[in-house]
Structure 1
Amino acid sequence: MLNQIDILEVVWRVARNNLIRSKVKEGATMRLLLISIVGLSLVACSGSGDEDEYADSEDAGSFHGYECTDDCSGHEAGYQWASDNDITDPDNCGGNSQSFIEGCEAYAEETEL
């Protein structure tokens, strides 16, 4: 699969070749601009594919409404533990880490309904 740099390189080469081959400079410039915009749009819209399935997509500094102090790993661990242990009541969450407890509570609150 092509990465973002490869895509930009291909877009640039196509645009450059188009400019070189064109005898009408104005039309070539417009095509170069259009191809560049399309290429940059593709790069901007493509994700890294490494999104965390447990994290909120709205805010990188939070986890299911709870603030993270670092990388949300404590919240993720609590959420996973609650999932693995079928915890459906937030009162059943405990531990030595506030972030772990909050992750567990997040899972329990989602499944409590």
Structure 2
Amino acid sequence: MSLVDCDLLPVACTLTPGAGVAQLAAWREFNDDYLLDIDRAAGQITVHYPKIDVAIARLTELVRTERTCCTFATWAIDTTHPDLRLSVTGTDDALAAPTYLEQTSTLETNESVQ
């Protein structure tokens, strides 16, 4: 487990450090495979993915974990649009915490090069 990964876990997260690092890695892998776009507004983050069965299944599993460990926000999956959407709502302070929703291996690699 790297210190960088531990630093990405929200303070209010109830996962153990090892489980937290695994969850962060799962988000990075999922985002590498499917992330299309992210919209931020006051009190809400909406993350867009392609609406395909495998993405729905993987996102459902990720969100299941988030609902148990990061209860400072509300996690909802919306399949009523042409794309798959994850909506995370909460206070602006709470929504500053899950920065891992925007993390990808590519982003991390690019940042480490600079």
How does the TM-score come out when normalised to structure 1?
0.22
User: Which structure has greater helix proportion?
Assistant: 1
User: Which structure has greater strand proportion?
Assistant: 2
The structure showing larger relative contact order (alpha-carbon pairs under 8 Å, at least 6 residues apart) is: 2
> In terms of Rg, which structure is larger?
1
